[in-house]
Amino acid sequence: MDRRTFTKAVALGGLGGALATPAIAQSNSNVKWRWVSSFPKNLTISYDACVGFAKRVSELTDGKFQIQLFGPGELVPAFQVLDAVQNGTVETGFTASYFNVGKDPTFGFATAMPFGLNTRQQTAWMMRGGGLQLCNEFYRAYNVNYVPMGHTGAQMGGWFRKEIKSLNDMKGLKMRIGGLTGEIMKRMGVVPQNIPAGDIYPALERGTIDAVEYVGPFDDEQLGLYKVAKYYYYPGWWEGCVQVGNFVNLEKWNELPASYKAAFEVAASEATTLILAGYDAWNGAALRRLVGRGAELRAFPRDMMSEAYGVAFDYYDELAAKNEKFKKIYDNWRAFREDAFLWNRIGEASYDNFVYAEHAKRKR
């Protein structure tokens, strides 16, 4: 099944959607929302899922709830989605919460924390560990409600114009990198840059930046980053999981009939499955193509990662000491992480490590 066939299948409930189309009460009125995205349309995994999401919401409400998607810059710049939703310029926006850590570092938790949770752990924390409730308590001060809608899985460490052999090689590098990692990298001598996806390629090509992290092989190939940087590093220790989602204007959310809210949440859940499935299905083949086109895979030096780990948790402790909102979520997140890591070391990691090693040895 190709990508677009798969997208259509999910948009039509082909993965066994959580709800059949409900009987919408005739009293429910027609609703039309504007939906802005931080991510360009040429990143097809997320864009196709967004198209499917809007179609699914319409289907689940007998066509009464219509959501129109706008790309970055069409109504709102990529990094101003929260502002536009908060002040009611648009009703909802698809973005990464951590684009807003300049307002408050607490925005990092709903997307990714360096050396934090992997994809399954993030989902478990949000849905079963109190994470979503805590995040939405925090978001109320910004007049928005948050509905998760997508995971990328673990990300790559990014594209570098020169080889990184030690921690010293990072010093002075101008690197496009988002979230709380910017401050961590800054403390390690890197000059962080916050650049929207659509501007990354020209910045790297012109030498305005020396390195860039974005997502992983499939999206990075679509952005053409292999054409302007040679060294492709892993792992993206700052993004063991990236969760994206929808900010919804709180007043507009509260005005929705319960059935429309359910349709929105169900469609978002289906899109979450679709987005992660896309990355898991197509990253491997994209990685092979990138290497075939000259990309050189490199692992980050151990000393650099070890230093970053210590810097990250020192930074979190500093934030928790002075920011009560951050501390409230951090305490819950860290306790959940302890139990999640315990289980994953015994169950998931031991299985994965053995199977990967045997596969590499036996080639089958």
pLDDT digits (tens, 9 = 90+) for 93-130: 999 999 999 999 999 999 999 999 999 999 999 999 99
Q: What CATH number should be reported for the domain whose range is 3-151+240-282?
A: 3.40.190.170
On the question of pLDDT at 209 being above 50, the answer is: yes
Q: What is the pLDDT of residue 294?
A: 97
User: What is the C-alpha separation between 190 and 208, in angstroms, rounded?
Assistant: 14
Q: What is the pLDDT of residue 27?
A: 66
User: What is the C-alpha separation between 321 and 276, in angstroms, rounded?
Assistant: 35
Question: With contact defined as beta carbons under 8 Å apart, do 269 and 49 qualify?
Answer: no
Closest listed residue to residue 49, CA positions, set 7, 80, 21, 19: 7
On the question of pLDDT at 12 being above 70, the answer is: no
Residues sharing a CB contact under 8 Å with residue 324, sequence separation 6 or more, in sequence order: none
State pLDDT tens for residues 57-72.
999 999 999 999 999 9
Question: What is the H or E stretch that residue 91 is in?
Answer: none
On the question of pLDDT at 190 being above 60, the answer is: yes
For residue 127, which phi and psi values (nearest 5 degrees)? -95, -25
User: What is the C-alpha separation between 305 and 178, in angstroms, rounded?
Assistant: 17
User: What is the C-alpha separation between 38 and 73, in angstroms, rounded?
Assistant: 9
Closest listed residue to residue 143, CA positions, set 90, 217, 201: 90
Question: With contact defined as beta carbons under 8 Å apart, do 254 and 140 qualify?
Answer: no
Q: Which amino acid is at 167?
A: L
User: What is the C-alpha separation between 267 and 113, in angstroms, rounded?
Assistant: 26
> Which of the pair, 197 or 290, is modelled with greater confidence?
290
* Mean pLDDT computed over 343-361: 95
Q: What is the pLDDT of residue 178?
A: 84
Closest listed residue to residue 164, CA positions, set 229, 239, 238: 229
Question: With contact defined as beta carbons under 8 Å apart, do 121 and 242 qualify?
Answer: no
- Residue 286 vs residues 217, 233, 241: alpha-carbon distances, Å: 5, 15, 19
> Which of the pair, 11 or 181, is modelled with greater confidence?
181
* Mean pLDDT computed over 171-194: 94
On the question of pLDDT at 132 being above 80, the answer is: yes
Q: What is the pLDDT of residue 26?
A: 56
List helix spans (H) across 40-118.
44-60, 81-86
On the question of pLDDT at 17 being above 50, the answer is: no
* Mean pLDDT computed over 168-195: 94
Question: What is the H or E stretch that residue 120 is in?
Answer: helix 119-128
Which percentage of the chain shows pLDDT scores above 70?
Answer: 93
Name the token pair of 250.
Answer: 């709180």
Name the token pair of 296.
Answer: 């050189």
